[in-house]
Amino acid sequence: MNITWALMMMALGSVGVQNNQHDADVAIALRTAMNPPIVAQHSSNPDAVTPSQNATGEISSPTSTANAIYKDPQPDAPKVKGIYVTAYSAGGSRMEQLLALLDKTELNSMVIDIKDDTGYITYKTDNVELQQLGHPQSFIGDINKLMERLKKHDVYPIARIVVFKDSILAKKKPGLSFVNADGSVWTNKGGDSFVNPYNEDVWKYNVDIAKEAAKLGFKEIQFDYVRFPEGFEKRADSLKYTKSNRPRVEIIADFVKYAQAELEPLGVRVSVDIFGYAASVPAAEGIGQDFVKISKNVDVISPMIYPSHYSTGWFDVKDPDKNPYATIKGSMVDTHKKLDPLGSYKPIIRPWIQDFTASWLGSGHYVKYGKQQVEDQIRALKDENVEEYLLWNANNRYTSGVDYEK
């Protein structure tokens, strides 16, 4: 496999992408990739990184994990088996069906949009600064009532916050975004804008939302789109934005360190969504994602390992979408290899798995996902000693009758 293609695939989207443009882009990339996968390159010492500036600009060396002991901020948390829930579902009638699903099965957690893919804060907040920078909506009509409802049903609540993909903030504050030569805010092919990961005001804004979510009762903060825009390396020199000479992978890793340090006093876990490919290829320098650098500073890492997003040849599988067991197993083998050197600082591995049908792959290259395909993925995780997982379906319509203990 061409490494450029592999890294491009890592940059195509993220867990929350729900539009047809993303599906089309993925389909094109998958159809044009016909070579076997490259072999992951593993460092013998992933902690041996160069000193970097902290959030205040001071030079500091990374903390050694050799003699440190990791302390879980949620030691009583269950083995999480969860589902994705949009703010619309959380605040609407579908929530009744989703709660019933958890009540009747081994599922026990919901990942709920608190700041969504557009940048909307999905509930009304009294925080003046968040009101000024964001655009709070009442998708979730009464956030406190929702939290009481989750507690009543014994749901482990996770707040999903989309970080650097944020059209709302980019339009409100172009100086926090990427600007074209004509002064307009840059947008990607889907019409979405990103805000600048170099800018610490952006860091603080997102972490302030996370702090409010923690105070509302969420046990974990899951950050998504923790990266630069797709293909950023091709436009890094043509756009106007605040920047430094430091590598993008260090900037992204430093945001994660900052978020964890700020949230630690509140006793919540910090998790990050990352491309499944990241475990099988070297760091994606262009978008700033390094699997190990991010993983060593979170409590939970959630690689998106949907079989539909792997192309012909990955893990010796002709059509990965049609063989979910082999695809998931292969991705977890690579994930363990990448993260085992972190020792006690190896985070909980809690992948996103597929509960949707990838018809965009074309006839003969996909199957309709149902009970067997979901259970095959869970079985593959279990065979690789991964006990936690999250189910993704953009419309929150999950397969019935699944044995989640498979």
- pLDDT tens column, 255-314: 999 999 999 999 999 999 999 988 988 888 899 999 999 999 999 999 999 999 999 999
- CATH superfamily, domain 3-31+77-392, is Glycosidases (3.20.20.80)
Residue 17 has pLDDT above 80, yes or no: no
Which pTM does this prediction carry?
0.86
* Block residue for tokens 């964890």: 260
- Residue spans of the domains in the chain: they are 3-31+77-392
Tokens of 147: 């939290």
CA Rg value for the chain: 20
pLDDT at 154: 98
DSSP state of 321: G
pLDDT at 337: 97
Mean pLDDT of the chain, nearest integer: 86
Please provide the size of the chain in residues: 406
Q: Is 178 helix (H, G, I), strand (E, B) or coil?
A: coil
Tell me which H or E stretch contains 263. helix 248-263
Tokens of 300: 């939970």
pLDDT at 58: 35
Strand partners, 121: 115
**What whole-number distance in Å separates Cα of residue 406 and Cα of residue 403?**
6
- Name which of 263, 357, 290 is nearest 62 in CA terms: 290
Given a contact cutoff of 8 angstroms between Cβ atoms, the answer to whether 353 and 380 are in contact is: no
